[in-house]
């Protein structure tokens, strides 16, 4: 499922933009991980049934070398992703403005679910219980269920806080 990120300049010298074309300014994928790990919230955009956009804030975590999030099964974003998994996650940590395009995949294996739950607990102190392949917030009224998702990137973009650097990541089979 995981593909190797390949970093490259987003713009070249012939693009005539005020963004650096110096290969030394290309950011590593590790900075994208740090951005997701440290951002208190991110925005997820998905596709509505009428093909319109839907954007919501959420709490991102990093697990299994991918950005992850939780969503109630009946929420608009979960219903959108069940129909069309294409999505965009955007986040910033003050160092990098990050855009990750990809597909949201429901985490179904118990070990994977546990790793995502551990990431939520470590980052937010949010302890969810694992039952029947789903996560439950037992500290909330009614113990609501949450599905856990990984975003498998197809491409990503990182813009430096200086406004003068930009990196594109392509994802290739390893």
**What is the model's pTM?**
0.91
Question: Per residue in 41-85, pLDDT tens?
Answer: 999 999 999 999 999 999 999 999 999 999 999 999 999 999 999
The CA-atom distances, in angstroms, between 51 and each of 42, 48, 114 are 22, 5, 33
Question: Per residue in 126-174, pLDDT tens?
Answer: 999 999 888 999 999 999 999 999 999 999 999 998 888 899 999 988 7
Cα–Cα distance between 95 and 115 in angstroms, integer?
A: 26
User: Is 30:113 a contact under the CB 8 Å cutoff?
Assistant: no
Residue 17, classed as helix, strand or coil, is coil
What per-residue confidence (pLDDT) applies to 141?
95
Bridge partner list, 168: 8, 157
């Amino acid at each position: 499922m995981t593909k190797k990120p390949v970093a490259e300049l987003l713009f070249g010298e012939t693009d005539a933009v005020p963004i650096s074309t110096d290969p030394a300014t290309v950011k590593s994928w590790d900075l994208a991980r740090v951005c997701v790990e440290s951002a208190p919230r991110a925005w997820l955009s998905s596709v509505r049934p009428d093909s319109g956009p839907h954007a919501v804030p959420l709490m991102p975590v990093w697990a299994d070398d991918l950005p992850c999030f939780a969503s109630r099964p009946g929420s608009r974003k979960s219903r959108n992703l069940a129909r069309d998994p294409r999505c965009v996650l955007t986040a910033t940590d003050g160092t990098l403005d990050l855009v990750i395009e990809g597909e949201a995949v429901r985490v179904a294996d118990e070990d994977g679910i546990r790793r995502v739950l551990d990431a939520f607990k470590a980052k937010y102190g949010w302890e969810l219980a694992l039952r029947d392949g789903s996560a439950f917030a037992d500290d909330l009224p009614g113990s609501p269920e949450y599905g856990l998702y990984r975003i498998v990137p197809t491409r990503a973009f990182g813009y430096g806080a200086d406004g003068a650097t930009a990196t594109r990541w392509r994802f290739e089979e390893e």
